[in-house]
Structure 1
Amino acid sequence: MSAASQPKKAAQRQPAEVVFRDELEKLAAMDLGPVPPGWQLSPRAVEKFVLGDDSLGIERKFVADRAMVVRIIISLCTSRGCLLVGEPGTAKSWLSELLTAAISGNSTLALQGGAITQVRQLLYGWNEAVLAAKGPCLEALVPSPLMRGMMEGRLVRFEEIARCPQALQDALLSVLSDRVLVVPEISGDDGVILAREGFNLVATSNSLDAGVHQMSAALKRRMDFEEIRPIKSLSDEIGVVLREVRKANDRAGISVDLDAEVIEFLVTMFHELRNGQTMDGRSTDRLAGAALSTAEAVSVAHAASLNAWYYGGGSMTVEQLMHHIIGSALKDHPDDRRRLKHYFETAIAQREGEVWAQVWALRSLIH
């Protein structure tokens, strides 16, 4: 069978503006609030899209304090960019995708800081064939996502900005301050790209990567900082994991029975090991080599679901989940194995209930 005759495969993951198109259209149709220049929705509608509204049938997509989300939305109304800082797995990238989908209707204009090593990757490059034929001109220009955002008046996502070398970070200064990008190779007004209404930058940075490339004071002054913290409420976190695992399973085309008590064990374990404290307030060891975030819990539960679908009877078991938890929790820090064993002996051994008894019986897997 030729490549042309093969059936087109479905996308593994659709951007937020595609997944939630119906919700965005519903919010736009009933949006009575003032809309900032260049935005698709009003700030209040953007907030409802992110945090949900049961009365309108809008799903809650991010768990956070409302005041923090409002601050982020308002900061994007200004001429300053916004930097979301936090531990790995706290859904900073997901929040930036939701915001750009609601505000600009396009969340795909994105830069990856660790992949940017040259100015052309950050700002613009050239189509060599057109350049050779016509010389420097707009037709020969290949805009980066950042330049496209300026030209189209859209939000741009800058993932892991601290992984980008400082010299390249500073190339953002004139863009964020003056809202202008000069292409010196093109003479006249065509070489001056002015940002259109609606353009801004929402960046993310893992707090554990702070030492990769220090951000300059000049760039910091041009961005509002917001710390994205792990979900505080255990019940909220369990709800997020259940919802996201069901979605991941649906995308994978599998139907697995999710036992709420088994998911509760997973989330409780991650919650306690991440915070270094059990739910009843006793201190416990934190693992040094694993984030054990909500996003990681979703990945582990989805992997266990796939295990149950392809190798089991379609129902997730504690043993299947334990195998994937160990693979996630024990990485490249040898002492974490000792810490995990200590957690089992001091916390799990004392828990009552059938699920916790099954977990304790599987402690030998931590060998």
Structure 2
Amino acid sequence: MSDPSTATSPDVLRAHAEQQYAAELAALDVADDRPRPPSWRLSPWAVSLYVLGGQLPDGTAIEPKYIGSRRLVEIAIATLATDRALLLLGVPGTAKTWLGEHLAAAISGSSTLVVQGTAGTAEEALRYGWNYARLLADGPSRAAMVPSPVMRAMETGALVRVEELTRIPADVQDALISILSEKSLSVPELDEQVQAKPGFNVIATANNRDKGVNELSSALRRRVNTVVLPLPDTLEEEVEIVRGRVSAIGASLSLPPDLESLSEVQRVVQVFRELRSGVTTDRRTTVKSPTATLSTAEAISVLTNGVALAAHFGDGTVRAADVAAGLLGAVVKDPVQDRIVWQEYLETVVRDRREWNDLYRACRELG
């Protein structure tokens, strides 16, 4: 596998996907002899290889960007080759944004056309706005217009990402309906229409676990193909995902530990999976689940923090004491209800595992 740290620019904390994996994308472009949809930089087959990982005929290794169902990834890629938009749906931490970024990088060569959905997102973020100084001075004109990322994607035949679509107010979401159905955007102030070039499409992400969610209208749902991204199926799969991401993040932050043999990764992931599912791995003990999501992304955060503690305040080896505080912070979101759940899990599960005595003591010391 390629080393992510060698592909990341030292001048930025986190490079865009198309920058970080530029060498892989270039190698795929050379080796790709399959048909490419209009404006696509790679064929659907090559996009799938870039996302899921593999090896090219010349021996070039392609690092997996997403570990999960191959069929789901293929469905997502095929959707983007049609006239329907793609909606990546799932609970927080299932790599929706991560997958969307890499799909845009491989298909359009750029992942930077993004609308970040919030409760305050205005219609201008999906359509266009105005430079009011020029508007007042010269009146409506192309020069006074501020195109949205969606409009720029339409004009260039590229993919645009709309993050957290269900956080955008419903009346603003509806601005996408005519864009997705007619592939055009009217500008009545200029008596013009912007028509999408081949290659234009939308990758949206959404989850229904956060507060402030606005359900999609039936009209908008009919114009998207929904792909539900699940949590990792097995402990081993989730450990592999967490280890890879923490290693990449640690390299970008110049944190030294080698996580290939780090036992704490498996323990943190196992704790999260048991609390999520409400039963221990051996299926013998039922446990209560906290209000927190305890996603794969949160496990990555807990271990990254543990790596930082070990690197800066320890000997570089991550131990139970380095991850205990992160575990407590991830699990106990409700100071009353979740604390009871956590204490019961410590006393009924963690304490009885002799090989986990160090983790039990570290968590108890934190109260």
TM above 0.5, yes or no, is yes
Per-residue CA deviations over 1:72-98 (Å, capped at 9, x if unaligned) read 111111111111111111111001001
TM superposition shift of 1:285: 3.1
Which residue in 1 is equivalent to 2:360? 360
Deviates more, 1:284-293 or 1:245-254: 284-293
Is the 8 Å Cα contact of residues 289 and 333 (structure 1) preserved in structure 2? no
Residue type at the aligned position of 1:357: N
Determine the C-alpha separation between the residues in 1 that align with 2:32 and 2:335.
Answer: 51
SS in 2 for 1:326: helix
Residue 225 of structure 1: aligned partner: 226
Identity %: 40
* Matching residue of 1:77: 81
Asked if 1 retains the 8 angstrom alpha-carbon contact of 2:324 and 2:363, the reply is: no
Whole-angstrom distance in 1 between the partners of 2:254 and 2:90 = 33
Q: Judge conservation of contact 2:39–2:158 (CA < 8 Å) in 1.
A: yes
The farther-off stretch of 343-352 and 240-249 is 343-352
Match of 1:284 in 2: 286
Residues 146 and 115 of structure 1: CA distance in aligned 2, closer, same or farther (over 3 Å): farther
Consecutive unaligned residues in structure 2, runs of 5 or more? 1-8
Q: Indicate the SS of the match to 1:82.
A: strand
Instruction: Tell me the amino acid that sits aligned with residue 22 of structure 1.
Output: A
Relative to structure 1, is the Cα distance of residues 339 and 118 closer, same or farther in structure 2, using a 3 angstrom cutoff?
same
Cα deviation, residue 283, structure 1: 5.0
Contact 1:284–1:343 under 8 Å retained in 2: no
Unaligned 5+ segments in structure 1 are 1-7
8 Å Cα contact 1:288/1:333 also seen in 2: no
Partner Cα separation in structure 1 for residue 18 and residue 306 of structure 2: 29
SS of aligned partner of 1:139: coil
One-letter identity of the residue aligned with 2:96: K
- 1:261 is matched with which residue? 263
Contact 2:280 2:286 in 1 (8 A): yes
Q: Structure 1 residue 260: deviation in Å?
A: 2.2
Question: Does the CA-based 8 Å contact 1:64-1:231 persist in structure 2?
Answer: yes
The residue that corresponds to 1:235 in the other structure is: 236
- CA drift of 1:357 comes to 2.0
**Structure 1 residues 254 and 211: alpha-carbon distance in aligned structure 2, compared to 1, 3 A threshold:** closer
Q: Is the 2:97–2:163 contact (alpha carbons within 8 Å) kept by the matching residues of 1?
A: yes
Question: Which of the numbers 143, 147, 161 marks the counterpart of 2:151?
Answer: 147
Q: What is the 5 A alignment of 1:57-68?
A: 57-68=61-72
Given that residues 167 and 212 in structure 2 are in contact (C-alpha distance below 8 angstroms), is that contact kept between their aligned partners in structure 1? no
In the TM superposition, 1:179-328 aligns within 5 A as 179-187=183-191, 191-209=192-210, 212-258=213-259, 259-328=261-330
CA RMSD of aligned residues (A): 1.8
SS in 2 for 1:314: coil
Q: Taking structure 1 as the reference length, what is the TM-score of the superposition?
A: 0.92
TM-score, normalized by length of structure 2? Answer: 0.92
- Paired residue secondary structure (2:118): helix
Q: Secondary structure at the match of 1:360?
A: helix
Moved more, 216-225 or 230-239: 230-239
